[in-house]
Amino acid sequence: MRLKGKVALITGAAAGIKGEVMGFGGASAWMFAREGAKVVLCDIKEDLARRSETQLREHGYDALFIPLDVRDEEQWKRAIAQTVKTYGKLNVLVNNAGQGYMNTVEQATLDIWNHEMDVHAKGTFLGTKHAIPEMRKVGGGSIVNISSIYGLVGSQTSAAYHAAKGAIRIFTKATAIQYAKDNIRANSIHPGFCITPMTHRLQEDPDKLALYTAKVPMARWGKPEEVADGILFLASDESSYITGSELVIDGGMTAQ
């Protein structure tokens, strides 16, 4: 029960159906719940998220779905207010919502650039900004921001995605320094190639699948549960002396 008595809000948590491919948020929701947390699932995919909420409850866990577009500050205010109204507090925030476009600098449009920055950088900023006062009230908390190995290194595609995930990385460090005195920790997770709903289009193309797999020293793609293990660690008190750090979960790819 590593999160016993804690309340955790996870964005991008809709894909959490057992028997289907989960995202990092959905896998984390199950892991958090098993470890004793009350879990708030936030997403724009309402039907899928409600199915995840229902399944968690059927297994005896305390879960709540709150619709949330992370780009909208008023929705953030409502989501956090509803979390506190329902459970009395907020201890953990996982900024996981994301979307990716595979475009070079020249191929990327301004709309693509703005969308990537809004969902990732702006969404993480807004969640963090409005979670901090509630965490301060309970003597601290943990913020886990999902970046990517593409927030650490470059590639032949995804220019806007790189920029947005890089912004999350350095924003996390600024948050960690500014709120260490409040016992609020902030760390970033940097997953490599993992099997999630977002990567299905690559998984279904044999040539691309082989190309990307060849880049990974462990010669396989990660599972969402393997990333969720890292998220759980940073959310729990086991990482109480860790803040402003980067946890890379990539099968050794960026070690090359």
Which positions are annotated as active-site residues? 161
Reference 145, options 212, 98, 82, 203; nearest CA is: 98
Under 8 Å between Cβ of 17 and 218: no
Question: For residue 194, which of 209, 177, 179 has the smallest C-alpha distance?
Answer: 209
- Dist CA 59 CA 68 (whole Å): 24
What is the spatial distance between Cα 167 and Cα 60, in angstroms, rounded to a whole number?
38
Residue 56 CB burial class (10 angstroms; 0-12, 13-18, ≥19): buried
- Give residues with Cβ within 8 angstroms of 248, minimum separation 6: 149, 152, 190, 192, 254
Structural contact between residues 237 and 185, judged by C-beta atoms closer than 8 angstroms: no
